Structure 1
Amino acid sequence: MILANEVTKRYGDAVVVDGLSVTIPKGGITSIIGPNGAGKSTLLSMLARLLKMDGGSVTVGGLDVTATASDVIARRLAILRQDNHLSARLTVRDLVTFGRFPYSRGRPTLDDKAHVERALAYLDLGALADRYLDELSGGQRQRAFVAMVLCQDTDYVLLDEPLNNLDMKHAQSMMKTLRRATRDFGKTVVLVLHDINFASWYSDFVVALKDGRLAAAGTVDEVIREDMLRDIYGMEIQVHAVAGQRIALYYE
């Protein structure tokens, strides 16, 4: 599991994450939701040790992210940030191979190459493997970056807005792939999402933030509720049951 205890982040006088404590269960998909400025990406970055905390602590699978060596953390936890643009001209295969760096240190073995091919196939990128990233659509590039993260072969995968640049069809395909990864490989996937319907449909656990604080955490049935969403987003939202799942409709 991932345990955040009294995590705080400040920028000058502005408190972006305010003494937040939450336990994210091991296994399945956990979605972090909330309005813009709620602190979602900041929290994710602190969980992954990309951003220094001003207070509190985080453990991932029992490892203190602040005190544990980088190479050890990199074999337990992988993260994909929103700003995942590269200036270097790389092929898809080159990019995905970066996911093996914690193991190969830039000298891929046969085992590393097998992981790369498996990740390419898993994200249906085989036909694009030798194409350059700048020749791909935004959605294809996003799939390539997710393949790189999965290729790192960690227990925990953190994704910041992985549905960026994806239309509805490809966003659905991405969520199905991530859910399948939790089942096929026993991974724990934690992702920041703006679309609460994707969070509702595919998540096992939901963490909702508001103004840098924890507004709610629990199962979809516990969090995706009209009263809860009204308080979090400050607007009227209807929740309906469809095919055994909850979906939200917004209205003025």
Structure 2
Amino acid sequence: MITISGVRRDYTDEVAIGPVDLVIPEGGMTALIGPNGAGKSTLLTMIGRLMGMDAGSIEIAGYDVSSTKSADLAKIVSILRQENHFITRLTVRQLVGFGRFPYSKGRLNRTDEQIITRAIEFLDLTALEGRYLDELSGGQRQRAYVAMVLAQDTEVVLLDEPLNNLDMKHAVQMMKHLHRAAAELGRTIVIVLHDINFAARYADRICAMKDGQVVEFGAPAEIMTDAVLTRVFDTEVQVVDGPSGPLAVYY
């Protein structure tokens, strides 16, 4: 469980995130959605302690994010940022192996290798594990980064717009992999998404943000309404019945 209490990040007198009070339950996938500048990525990076807070507190599984030692926190929460600066002469397996650093400190043992192999298999990367990152497509490379995060073997996984630069096919495949990770591996996944329809289709909960505030939080059926989405995105939205659930149509 992630407990966010009175969290605030101040940029200027006019621009601030929060205060945010939110409890994200254990397990499943929670999608952070909202317009650009709503504070989604800022909130995610504060949860992952990659950005400091000006007020408030965040606890993950009972551990205070601000005061827990980095070595201990890295075994509880993992995060994948939008910007992945990869080394071209790194193979997929070597990249995924970085996820074991909190445990191995760079000296991989048999258990580490087994966990790396499982993460590679889970993301359907076995045939590519010996390939260098610059030899992969954008979708393949993004899957490799997600495999690295899963290999870190943390209870909580934070993903900042992992669908960026993916075409429709690879975006769907990625969301299916992440949904499986939450369901089959028991991970608590918090993901920033721009596409509300992906959130509705694959997430267990949706947190809608606007102007640095959480304005709605609930199951997809609660968020996927004309009134809620129109208010969140400041544009007319109609929710229609699709073959796999509700779909948002923008005008």
Instruction: Give the TM interval when normalised to the shorter protein.
Output: over 0.9
Aligned to 2:164: 164
Deviations 1:26-66 (A, max 9, x none): 11110000000000000000001110001111001111101
TM-score, normalised with respect to structure 2? 0.97
Matching residue's letter, 1:237: V
What's the counterpart of residue 29 of structure 1? 29
Aligned residues: 251
The 5-angstrom pairing of residues 15-164 of structure 1 reads 15-87=15-87, 89-164=89-164
Q: Deviations over 1:122-147 (max 9, x none)?
A: 11111111111111111111010000
Task: Note the alpha carbon deviations across 1:10-36, whole angstroms, 9 max, x for none.
Answer: 124343312011111111110000000
Which runs of at least 4 in structure 1 moved beyond 6 Å after TM superposition? none
* Counterpart-to-counterpart distance in 2, 1:91 and 1:249: 41
Q: Distance in 2 between matches of 1:63 and 1:241?
A: 41
TM-score (norm 1): 0.97
Cα deviation for residue 243 of structure 1 reads 3.5
C-alpha contact 1:16 1:42 (8 A) present in aligned 2: no
Amino acid at match of 2:46: M
Would the aligned equivalents of 1:30 and 1:190 in 2 still touch at CA under 8 Å? Answer: yes
Paired with 1:4 and 1:239, the residues of 2 have a C-alpha distance of 30
Partners of 2:122 and 2:133 lie apart in 1 by 18
User: RMSD between aligned alpha carbons?
Assistant: 1.1
- Unmatched 5+ stretches in structure 2: none
Residue 115 of structure 1: how far off its partner (Å) = 0.6
Q: In structure 2, do the counterparts of structure 1 residues 131 and 5 end up closer, same or farther at CA, with 3 Å as the change threshold?
A: same
| Structure 1 spans left out of the alignment, 5+ residues | none
Alpha-carbon shift at residue 87 of structure 1 (Å): 4.0
Residue 221 of structure 1: aligned partner: 221
Alignment of 1:209 with 2:209, yes or no, is yes
Q: 1:88 to 1:168 in 2, by over 3 A?
A: closer
Contact 1:8 1:15 (8 Å CA) reproduced: no
Rounded Cα–Cα distance in structure 1 between residues aligned with 2:112 and 2:87:
24
Q: Give yes or no for contact 2:29–2:203 (8 Å, CA) kept in 1.
A: yes
| CA distance in structure 2 between the partners assigned to 1:6 and 1:154 by the alignment | 25
What's 1:230 paired with?
Answer: 230
Q: What secondary structure does 2:181 align onto? A: helix
